[in-house]
Amino acid sequence: MLAHSANLVTEKALIGIPRKKETAPVLASQKQIETSCVIIDANTSPKLEEVRVEMANMKVESRPVELLTSVGSCVAICLHDAMNKCGGLAHIMLPTSNNPLLEPLPSKFANTAVPALAKAVREISGNDIRLSAKIAGGANMFANLGPNSLDIGGKNVQAVKAALALHKIRLEGEDVGGVSGRRITFNTHSGIAVVKSFRGASRIL
C-alpha cells in the first residue's frame, strides 16, 4: 500500500503536475515541539556505575566507578592513587576507637579507618604508592543536642586529619563543618570528589 502511493507521487513529479500543498491543521503544542531546540550538555560524560558505601563501611575499587555516600556529622574519607587510577572511600562515625588493634569494624572510627583504607588501596596498587586524600562531612545540624552531647562532627574531622598526618597521606581537598548534610560521589578513576550539600550548590574537590 505504501509502495503504491509512493509510486504515484513519483509519477506525478515526473509528469510535472504541481502537487497540492498539504495543509493539515497543526496544533499549537506540535509547533512548540518543532521549534524547541535540543540542548546537549558538553559535560555529560557516560555515566559510571554508582556504588553506595553504607554507614561505618568502606569500599575500594580498581574499576572506574562512582563511590557514593551521604554524611551528616560523619566524615567520608576518599583515598586516591593517581598512578594506578584506583581508590577507596570510608564512611566513619566516631573519632577514636578505644581498642584500635582488635576493632571488629575498623571503618567505624577515624583512627582505625585511615590505616585500614590505605592498606586496602595499597593491596591493589602496591606498597609504596603515594596516596592523596579528600574529606567531607562533619556537619552539626542541630545547634543543641542536649547537655551530654559534644560537637561530634568537629571532633571527627580533627581525628581524621590527625590520622592522615600520622600515616603521611596528603590532604588534597576538604569540605567540612557547617550545618547541612552532604552527598559525596568519588570517581575512583579520576580522583574527583563531588560534594553536594542539601541547600548549596555542588562543589568539586
Partner 1 sequence: MNKQINIDATSEQGNVKASFSEQSQVDSGILLELGSIGAGHAATSLSDVIQQPVTIDLPKILNLQVHLIPSFYNLHEVPTIGVFLQLMEDNGCDILLMLELSEARKIAAMMTMASSIEELDPSMETSAIHELANILIGSFLTAISDFVGMTLLPTTPQSALDTFDAILDTFLVKQSMLSESALIFETRFKRLGEDAKCILMIFPSSELRNQLIQKSKTLLNL
Length of the chain: 205
Q: Quick one: 113 or 131, whose CB is closer to partner 1?
A: 113
Interacting residues toward partner 1 by CB under 8 A:
52, 54-57, 70-74, 93-94, 105, 108, 139, 141-149, 152, 179-183, 198
> Which one from 37, 74, 78, 86 is the annotated catalytic residue?
74
Q: Quick one: 183 or 189, whose CB is closer to partner 1?
A: 183
Please state the closest distance from residue 47 (CB atom) to partner 1, in A. Answer: 17
Please state the closest distance from residue 25 (CB atom) to partner 1, in A. Answer: 36
74 is a catalytic site residue: yes
Q: Quick one: 149 or 202, whose CB is closer to partner 1?
A: 149
Please state the closest distance from residue 183 (CB atom) to partner 1, in A. Answer: 6
The total of other beta-carbon atoms located within 10 Å of residue 63's CB is 11
Task: Retrieve residue 138's grid coordinates.
Answer: 562533619
Q: Quick one: 16 or 146, whose CB is closer to partner 1?
A: 146
Please state the closest distance from residue 74 (CB atom) to partner 1, in A. Answer: 5
Active site residues: 74
